[in-house]
Amino acid sequence: MEILFNPIMLLMATAKDVLPVLGLLVLFQTLVLKKPIPRPGRIFFGFGAVLVGMTCFLAGLDLALFPIGRTMALQLAENAQKGGNVTWTAYGWVYLFAFLMGFSTTIAEPSLIAVAHKAHEASRKAVSTWGLRIAVAIGVGIGITLGTFRIVTGTPLYLYIMAGYVVVIIQTIFAPRMIIPLAYDSGGVTTSTVTVPLVAALGLGLASNVPGRSIVMDGFGLIAFASLFPIISVLGYAQLVQWKVRRRIRKS
C-alpha cells in the first residue's frame, strides 16, 4: 500500500511490466520483420497512455475497489451472523449482493462490450449486442452467487467445476455451431479489469469473516465461477433462440 502514495514509484513499477512488451514488439519488428515501425510517434504515445492509465488503475484498485468489495462482504457476513446458530440460509443478502455485483460489473466490462459489438458485426447482426451482454452478465451473476454459497458452506470447489463443465459439454453437443466459439470466449472476457478486483475482494472478505473458512482455501475460486457460468448462459441463450425460431417456423 505504501507505494500507492508515491506516484513516481508506482509509475516505475508499472513501467517494469509494460516496457518489456514494447521492447519485444520493437525487436520483433526491426530484427525479424526487418521493417521500420509504422507511425512510431503514435505507437509510443499510445504506450505512454497505457502506462499512465495502468498506473492510475492500479492505484484505484487498492484505494477503492478492493476495500469496497472487502468491506461490503464483511458487513453482510456480520449481519448474517447476528443471533447465532447461523446456517447457509442466513446469508441471503450476501447471495443477492453477489449476483447484483456480478451482473452490474459484467455489463460495464469494456472487453465484453468490445466483443459483443464485434460479434454483432461479424454475424451480420444475427448475434444481438445486448442479448449477448445480458446473457454473459446473468451467467457471471449466477456463478458468483454459487461461489459465495460454496464459501459459506465450505463445500469443495472441484465438485462445482466438474459439474459445470459436464453441463457445458452436453450443451455444446446441442447448441448452434455458430455460437459455440463465442460462448467459450465469453468466459474469458468476463475476467477483466472491472469484474476481477471486486470479485476477488468479495471472496477474500467473505472467507475471512465466515467461521471455519480459510482465506487461501475458500477465499479464492470465485473467478473460476465467473469464467465458467457465462459459457453455460450464452449456450443456453443460443439454444433458447434456436428453439423459438424453430417453433415459429413450425407454426408458419
For 70-88, the pLDDT digits (tens) are: 777 777 777 766 656 567 7
Tally of residues, the chain: 252
Distance CA 75, CA 77 (A): 5
17: pLDDT strictly greater than 70: yes
Residue range 195-223: average pLDDT? 83
Q: Which residue has the higher pLDDT, 151 or 11?
A: 151
Q: Give the pLDDT score at 86.
A: 62
Query: For the whole prediction, is pTM greater than 0.75?
Result: yes
Q: Give the pLDDT score at 138.
A: 94
Q: Give the pLDDT score at 81.
A: 67
189: pLDDT strictly greater than 90: no
As given in the structure block, the three cell numbers for residue 175 are 447448441
Distance CA 136, CA 220 (A): 21
Q: Give the pLDDT score at 169.
A: 95
Residue range 130-145: average pLDDT? 92
Q: Which residue has the cell 492510475?
A: 56
Give the count of beta carbons closer than 10 Å to the beta carbon of residue 183.
26
166: pLDDT strictly greater than 70: yes
Alpha helices in the chain (DSSP H): 7-27, 40-60, 66-80, 92-107, 110-122, 129-153, 157-174, 180-189, 195-209, 215-219, 222-251
Tell me the per-residue pLDDT of 142-163, one tens digit each, with 9 for 90 and over: 999 999 999 988 889 999 999 9
As given in the structure block, the three cell numbers for residue 26 are 520493437
CA separation, residue 44 to residues 21, 39, 55 (Å): 12, 9, 16
Q: Give the pLDDT score at 171.
A: 94
Residue range 178-186: average pLDDT? 88
Instruction: Kindly state the percentage of the chain with pLDDT values over 90.
Output: 20
Residues contacting 42, CB < 8 A, separation 6+ = none
Q: Where are the domains of the chain?
A: 2-251
Residue range 183-194: average pLDDT? 80
Instruction: Kindly state the percentage of the chain with pLDDT values over 70.
Output: 94
- Confidence band for 168, pLDDT divided at 50, 70 and 90: very high
Residue range 88-116: average pLDDT? 85
Q: Give the pLDDT score at 2.
A: 46
Q: Give the pLDDT score at 1.
A: 46
Q: Give the pLDDT score at 136.
A: 92
Q: Give the pLDDT score at 5.
A: 53
